[in-house]
């Protein structure tokens, strides 16, 4: 059971929503679509489900062309961000409804419903109506209905986005377990890089209707193909610094210089974009080689055990994630440190030139 998108695109009223896309999801894999809002995650999913017909290209399921096939005839299941259930039916009937339509026998349906309900911890709620449940339980009901069908392709469109923090974490931990039990291709759309990393599998990063990179999740995270992917797959987004390499030093900002070390050392002379993740910016001087930057502190956000510092470095906005609560003076010049092993180098048009040394070692 393989799903292949072959040059699939979508155009709405002359506007390109999805640029021609090539993707192949192997049988029984977890695939994350990662991208900000309006990147085209939902559009892409609707094409996969068959709810929308692509403008160009073909959709292949196990090698058979299913483009334009009625959605009823496709082996898919989908869970939306909103909690979509059939409000007039009980939870039991909700879960049973896809099986009843498949014409399964009564005992078979009952066994499958009880099994799925138990897995989704819905057994005590089977007699209730979906709207009498909490948000988390409603979404469990929707998930149960999607799973009970045994569809080869399960599409989850930001299923946890409307849940509160606690329920989201609880359900997120269960999704890999559900995935293991189902054995189908899972496609999971999310805006949060953290979710992609927790789910593992493969990740496709989306940006403005294009898949910028697709591969095993840790690899996409550690070795983003370009600056856009790196920006999408980093929360808060990756920080960038325009640098000019000349000889054994790099110049940046208003004439500052630093020795070219780490991934910067082996570059040919010219202009580059250096990128680093917020958690690699440090306030205390690290051991070993480090580059120092003077930046003005604009905002600090303290989230209990961590501090986000928003910095202005010669017009570039940087965000740093510092462990511990720091009492810092706003508006002051702050010296921040960066280990060159954490620096990615991109060409000025965004393509990756050299990944950070730490990412290669890992």
Partner 1 sequence: MRGGIAMTGRHLPRINIVMVLYLLFLMLPIYWLANMSLKTNTEILGGFSLWPRDLTFANYAKILGDPAWYMGYVNSIIYVSMNTVLSVAVALPAAYAFSRYRFMGDKHLFFWLLTNRMAPPAVFALPFFQLYSSVGLFDTHIAVALAHTLFNVPLAVWILEGFMRGVPKEIDETAYIDGYSFPRFFVKIFMPLIASGVGVAAFFCFMFSWVELLLSRTLTSVDAKPIAATMTRTVSASGMDWGVLAAAGVLTILPGALVIWFVRNYIAKGFALGRV
Q: Which residues in this chain contact partner 1 in the complex, by CB under 8 A?
A: 49, 51, 71-72, 74, 76-78, 80, 82, 84, 86-89, 97-98, 101-102, 142, 145, 149
Q: How far is the CB of 16 from partner 1 (least distance, A)?
A: 19
Degrees, nearest 5: CA angle 274-278-280: 80
Q: How far is the CB of 95 from partner 1 (least distance, A)?
A: 10
Q: How far is the CB of 97 from partner 1 (least distance, A)?
A: 6
Q: What is the helix (H) or strand (E) element at residue 324, kind and residue range?
A: none
Contact 346, 353 (CB under 8 A): yes
Instruction: Give 101 or 265: the residue with its C-beta nearer to partner 1.
Output: 101
49 secondary structure, DSSP code = H
User: Cα 355 to chain center, whole Å?
Assistant: 20
Q: How far is the CB of 156 from partner 1 (least distance, A)?
A: 13
Closest CA to 122 of 81, 92, 151: 92
Phi then psi dihedrals of residue 143, to 5 deg: -65, -40
3-state secondary structure of 125: helix
Residue partners of 84: CB distance under 8 A and separation at least 6? 142
Instruction: Give 160 or 238: the residue with its C-beta nearer to partner 1.
Output: 160
Instruction: Give 46 or 310: the residue with its C-beta nearer to partner 1.
Output: 46
Instruction: Give 51 or 357: the residue with its C-beta nearer to partner 1.
Output: 51
Dmax over Cα atoms in the chain, in whole Å?
Answer: 77
Instruction: Give 102 or 134: the residue with its C-beta nearer to partner 1.
Output: 102
Instruction: Give 106 or 326: the residue with its C-beta nearer to partner 1.
Output: 106
Residue partners of 103: CB distance under 8 A and separation at least 6? none
Q: How far is the CB of 98 from partner 1 (least distance, A)?
A: 4
Alpha-carbon distance of 241 to 271, in angstroms, equals 11
Residue partners of 322: CB distance under 8 A and separation at least 6? 281, 282, 283, 306, 307, 308, 309
Q: How far is the CB of 143 from partner 1 (least distance, A)?
A: 12
Instruction: Give 138 or 212: the residue with its C-beta nearer to partner 1.
Output: 138
Instruction: Give 101 or 325: the residue with its C-beta nearer to partner 1.
Output: 101
Cis peptide before 335 (omega within 30 of 0): no
Q: What is the helix (H) or strand (E) element at residue 92, kind and residue range?
A: helix 91-101
Instruction: Give 49 or 353: the residue with its C-beta nearer to partner 1.
Output: 49
The residue to which tokens 């045994």 are assigned: 150
Q: How far is the CB of 147 from partner 1 (least distance, A)?
A: 12
Q: How far is the CB of 73 from partner 1 (least distance, A)?
A: 9
Q: How far is the CB of 96 from partner 1 (least distance, A)?
A: 10
Cis peptide before 236 (omega within 30 of 0): yes
Closest CA to 4 of 77, 72, 44, 62: 62
């Amino acid at each position: 059971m393989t799903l292949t998108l072959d040059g699939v695109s979508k155009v709405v009223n002359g506007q390109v929503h999805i640029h021609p896309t090539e993707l192949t999801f192997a049988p029984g894999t977890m695939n994350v679509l990662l991208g900000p809002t309006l990147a085209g995650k939902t559009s892409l999913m609707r094409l996969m489900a068959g709810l929308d017909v692509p403008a160009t290209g073909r959709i292949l399921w196990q090698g058979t062309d299913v483009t334009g096939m009625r959605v009823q005839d496709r082996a898919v299941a989908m869970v939306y961000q909103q909690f979509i259930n059939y409000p007039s039916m009980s939870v039991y009937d909700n879960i049973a409804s896809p099986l009843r339509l498949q014409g399964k026998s009564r005992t078979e349906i009952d066994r499958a419903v009880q099994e799925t309900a138990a897995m989704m911890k819905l057994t005590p709620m089977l007699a209730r109506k979906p709207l009498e449940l909490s948000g988390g339980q409603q979404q469990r009901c929707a998930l149960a209905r999607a799973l009970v069908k045994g569809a080869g392709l399960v599409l989850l469109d930001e299923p946890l986005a409307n849940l509160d923090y606690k329920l989201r974490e609880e359900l997120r931990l269960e999704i890999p377990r559900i995935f293991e039990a189902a054995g189908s291709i899972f496609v999971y759309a999310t805006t949060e890089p953290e979710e992609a990393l927790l789910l593992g599998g493969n990740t496709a990063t989306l940006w403005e209707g294009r898949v910028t990179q697709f591969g095993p999740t840790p690899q996409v995270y550690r070795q983003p193909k370009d600056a856009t992917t790196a920006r999408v797959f980093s929360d808060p987004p990756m920080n960038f610094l325009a640098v000019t390499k000349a000889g054994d030093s790099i110049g940046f900002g208003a004439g500052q210089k630093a020795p070219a070390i780490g991934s910067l050392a082996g570059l040919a002379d010219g202009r580059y974009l250096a990128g680093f993740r917020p958690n690699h910016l440090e306030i205390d001087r690290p051991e070993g080689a480090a580059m120092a930057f003077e930046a003005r502190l604009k905002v600090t956000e303290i989230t209990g055990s961590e501090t986000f510092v928003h910095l202005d470095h010669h017009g570039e906005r940087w965000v740093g994630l510092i462990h511990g609560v720091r009492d810092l003076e706003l508006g002051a010049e702050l010296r921040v440190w960066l280990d060159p092993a954490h620096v990615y180098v991109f060409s000025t048009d965004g393509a990756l030139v050299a990944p950070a040394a730490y990412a290669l070692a890992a």
